Structure 1
Amino acid sequence: MQIKTASVAAVSASVGLNIHKGKTKVLKYNRENNPITLDDETLEDVESYQYLGSIINEQGGSDAHVKAKIGKAVLPYGAETWRTTTTTIKKVQVFINGCLCKILNIHWPDTISNSLLWESIHQLPVGEEIRRRWRWIGHTLRKSSNCIRRQALPWNLEGRWKRGRPKNRLDREIEGDMKKMNNKWKELGRIDQNRVGWRMLVIGLCSFTRSNRPK
């Protein structure tokens, strides 16, 4: 991470930009790493921070972010980068179902199954909607090889994990999806050049999860 930080600082300086050390924070994601420095100045370690309206914490998840966004009209924005824990999925789905029932004027004691509710307005379950992150991944893979965002996708995190059960992470979920598709990054990079083929890949992945969802 120190190398990446120094690289970003060097590129910024080459175009006349300077990184504000006071506003730059370090969030360690279930890792025990050495302090990160910038121009021999140690950057502050934090447990959470807010970036572009998103709350990111040291657990590497979206629980705090989802809780903060429940009361806002921007709940699903940026969902393609969430790590989808069961708790998060259920919490978001309950909120969405409640909103849909209000929109359709469905109130107790009237009842309707979730599947019928979703079908009536052509709405996908939130888990499948988030899985469409692969559309965002496809857009990222079409970036230049020098793009930091593209480099970050297959990047292996450095350092040593803390003791205990590992937390679910976005990269773990992406790797799980890749196993279902029986593809690797190199193969995905080739498929991504054909937008139609990539769109079919994403549709197939969503169909796979829908067919394997418990009834």
Structure 2
Amino acid sequence: MTEKYTESIYPRVSPSALTFENEQENDYRLKHVEDVKYELERHSNIRKSLRKRYSNLNSSLDCSNYALNTVSCVSGVASVSLLSTVALIQVYRAVVLTTLLYGSETWVTYSSHIRLLERLHQRCLRTILQIHWSDLVTNVEVLEQAEIPSIEALIAKSQLRWAGHVFRMKDHRLPKIALYGEIRSGHRYRGAPKKRYKDCLKKTFTACNIDHQNWSDYAADRSAWRLISSKGVTLFEETRRDTIKNKRSRRKARAASAVSQDPAFSCRLCSRACRSRIGLFSHERSCRQRGHSLPS
């Protein structure tokens, strides 16, 4: 163990002293940190880690877009046409997603974390597929074109795989002790309890149509658990996409019924009804930018 690369992290209060015995050198104190890059953070909170990954990946995307645009200006070739779309998506899955979701097997995720990751996921896919916001392509359609699941489904798949792996471990292994262990003494601080990894895992089981009380019976067999997990994640992704589509269709139906009561604000280019005059003005400007013209 090297002193330079050895750090310590504690759940809440760090002890006053912690030394490491080294036969060649004197005792030294481990450096205490609040979080470890791409690994741990206090209270099982991944907010800082996700923010770091989000900013780093955004910077990488900006730099890569600048480099590709520079090459395209010199060679006269479109930037994305340097590689096929299939190859770009394969590189994205192999490099970007593996780095972005590193350690997601043990994450305790909230809806805010999922929204942040999904937003970055959509930005990368839309850049690869050359989809602009003015094309009016939904997020579900982007995933279908790229033939790639959502971030939430990828996290669920990794957590199910890790849960089965931990269950098949020996009883003396630390991951299994941490998963099945209980606190012997102590008290909880005032306020709502923190979300635990067990709670997150139970929610994943329910979403993937897996019995959370008898899941260990299936996890004992590795091949069977892999098949059940794959089917469960596929069902979860299909249900998620259908829910989003139905929610969007209901929202569009309500908007259409509200606009139909006052059809005075109708676009002269595409005949789309708007709710107000300023909305009609903005919509017609967007239509002109997309190349629409007045019907003859």
TM-score relative to the length of structure 2: 0.54
2:211 to 172, 182, 194: 182
Identity across matched positions, percent: 21
Aligned residue number for residue 36 of structure 2: 50
- 2:149 equivalent to 1:124: yes
Aligned to 1:169: 196
CA contact (8 A) 1:89 1:127 kept: yes
Q: Does 1:99 align with 2:124?
A: yes
- Indicate whether 1:141 and 2:126 are aligned: no
TM-score (norm 1): 0.72
Aligned to 1:68: 52
* Letter in structure 2 aligned against 1:171: K
Structure whose residues are more often strand by fraction = 1
**Which runs of structure 2 are paired with 1:10-21 in the superposition (5 Å)?**
none
* RMSD after superposition: 3.3
Distance in 2 separating the partners of 1:154 and 1:177 = 17
1:154 is aligned to 180
Higher RCO (C-alpha under 8 Å, 6+ residues apart): 1
Choose from 211, 222, 232 the match for 1:205: 232
What CA deviation, in whole Å up to 9, does each residue of 1:40-86 have, x standing for no partner? Answer: xxx99x782216x325133x221111001112442111112111211
Q: Which has the larger radius of gyration?
A: 2
Q: Which of these residues, 72, 87, 94, is aligned with residue 112 of structure 2? A: 87
Equivalent pair of 1:83/1:169 in contact (CA under 8 Å): yes
Judged with a 3 Å threshold, the aligned counterparts in structure 2 of structure 1 residues 23 and 211 are, in CA distance, closer, same or farther, namely closer
The unaligned stretches of length 5 or more in structure 2 are: 20-28, 58-95, 245-296
SS of the aligned residue for 2:225 comes to helix
Write 1 or 2 for the structure with the bigger share of helix.
2
- Name the counterpart of 2:267: none
Could you list the runs of 5+ residues in structure 1 that have no partner in the other structure?
A: 1-16
- The AA in structure 2 aligned to 1:142 is R
User: Aligned residue pairs: how many?
Assistant: 187
Shift of 1:91: 0.5
Query: Which amino acid in the other structure matches residue 11 of structure 2?
Result: L
Alignment of 1:191-202 (within 5 A): 191-202=218-229
> Is the CA contact (8 Å cut-off) linking 1:55 and 1:64 kept in structure 2?
no
Which position in structure 1 is the counterpart of 2:261?
A: none
